[in-house]
Amino acid sequence: MDGKTHYVAARRENTRIAAAEPAGDAQSLVEFECECSNITCERSVKVPLYVYRRILESKDQVLLQAGHHAPTPYRTIVSMGLMSIEERRV
């Protein structure tokens, strides 16, 4: 499994989680898988469901544990606590 494969698998699982419309925890945070390129990464990242939906809708954004990176060149657009979002460079 290379980095791209890890990203694709995490994205598939996260899409499934989002489609199930989970209520999340007391702060409405839902646990998603880190979509980085590290094949051994098993980190989860907590964000509100609407935030992850926006990532999916944008098509060029990736949800990550802070400090982890997407499989292709991306720039960080949001970094908050343990969560970061990267966007594909154009």
Instruction: Rank residues 41 and 85 by Cβ distance to Zn ion and give the closer one.
Output: 41
Round to whole Å and give the CA distance between 25 and 37: 27
Instruction: Rank residues 43 and 88 by Cβ distance to Zn ion and give the closer one.
Output: 43
Q: Residue 54 carries which side chain, given as an amino acid letter?
A: R
- Does 63 bind Zn ion (CB under 5 A)? Our answer is no
Residue choice 7, 47, 61, 68 for contact with Zn ion (CB under 5 A): 68
User: Which candidate, 80, 70, 18, places its Cα nearest to that of 31?
Assistant: 18
Where do contacts with Zn ion occur on this chain (CB under 5 A)? 34, 36, 41, 43, 65, 68
